[in-house]
Amino acid sequence: MSGSLRERLQYHVEVLAAEIGERHVWRPRALAAAAHYIEEALSASGREVRQQRYEVEGVVCANLEVELLGQERPTEIVLVGAHYDTVEGSPGADDNASGVAAMLEIAWLLRDQQLGCTVRCAAFVNEEPPFFRSRAMGSAVYARAARARGDNIKLMLSLEMVGYFSGGPRSQRYPPLLRFFYPDRGNFIGFVSNWRSRFVLAKVHDSFRSQCAFPSERLASPAIVPGISWSDQRSFWRMGYPALMVTDTAFYRNPHYHRPTDTPDTLDFDSMASVAAGLARAIEALTH
């Protein structure tokens, strides 16, 4: 792979959102094209890409992953995941080509590092409605299989929309009351978990801040708060694994959420590069 981290992130997003575009089981050729692209990009890490295939609505779908084996505690796993499907009617640049791009680059950045425990980087299918919260959701299929195998997942990070940033006043919104405690400008990356995962949330956020100067905030909250459980981390909570979401806060900030206007030109790739690099360094540190 060539080019700067920023350039690589932008290229991934443009392929997924501009060239392939809307991708879900009702556009099976586009969904397959996205999976093929992700598989090729993951293979650049030098590891075998594993597929977890299953059928939905008569369409064969696949979760994809690579495994970077830990040297000290290989059975302990840090899982970094992002969904690659979109809602109908949106090309999904921020939701969630941005998360996939960051996941791909984390795999690339960690490919030659000496990791204490194993890191898996995974792309999940079928996160969006009508599959969200169903047994057909890709991360739910993955998490059930992981629990059945007895996988020792110590931490799951769901990368859910990590590309939209704004420094304008009142560019950031919140659920009721939270606006009194957090910035009104959408120029930070958020780390979010349910209450049960609050300790691992604090550990991950502290690691990110120690490795990266990019602005960040964290929130541990009951999952009933709108948005807290609205991504793949929910699947792992249900299987008893600690998990959190890394996000630009989606509809609380991005006016293009689930719209045809969620296009690559709306994203801030310099900020994305800072976040992806910081996450890679934080994950590496967390494995030791």
pLDDT in tens, 198-219: 999 999 999 999 999 999 999 9
Which domain does 144 fall in, by range?
5-286
Q: What distance, in Å, lies between the first and last C-alpha atoms of the chain?
A: 27
18/139 Cα distance (integer angstroms): 25
Predicted structure pTM score: 0.97
Specify whether the CB–CB gap between 79 and 50 falls below 8 A.
no
Beta carbons within 10 angstroms of residue 225's beta carbon: 16
Residues 6+ apart with CB under 8 A from 177: none
The 10s digit of each residue's pLDDT in 13-23 is 999 999 999 99
Specify whether the CB–CB gap between 264 and 272 falls below 8 A.
no
Specify whether the CB–CB gap between 278 and 18 falls below 8 A.
no
Q: Please state, for a pLDDT cut of 70, what percent of the chain lies above it.
A: 99
Residue 1 has pLDDT above 60, yes or no: no
- The CATH number that applies at residue 93 is 3.40.630.10
Give the long-range contacts of residues 43-48, CB within 8 A, separation 24 or more: 44/1, 44/108, 44/111, 45/107, 45/108, 45/110, 45/111, 45/121, 46/111, 47/111
Domain count for the chain: 1
Specify whether the CB–CB gap between 83 and 246 falls below 8 A.
no
Q: What is the pLDDT of residue 2?
A: 64
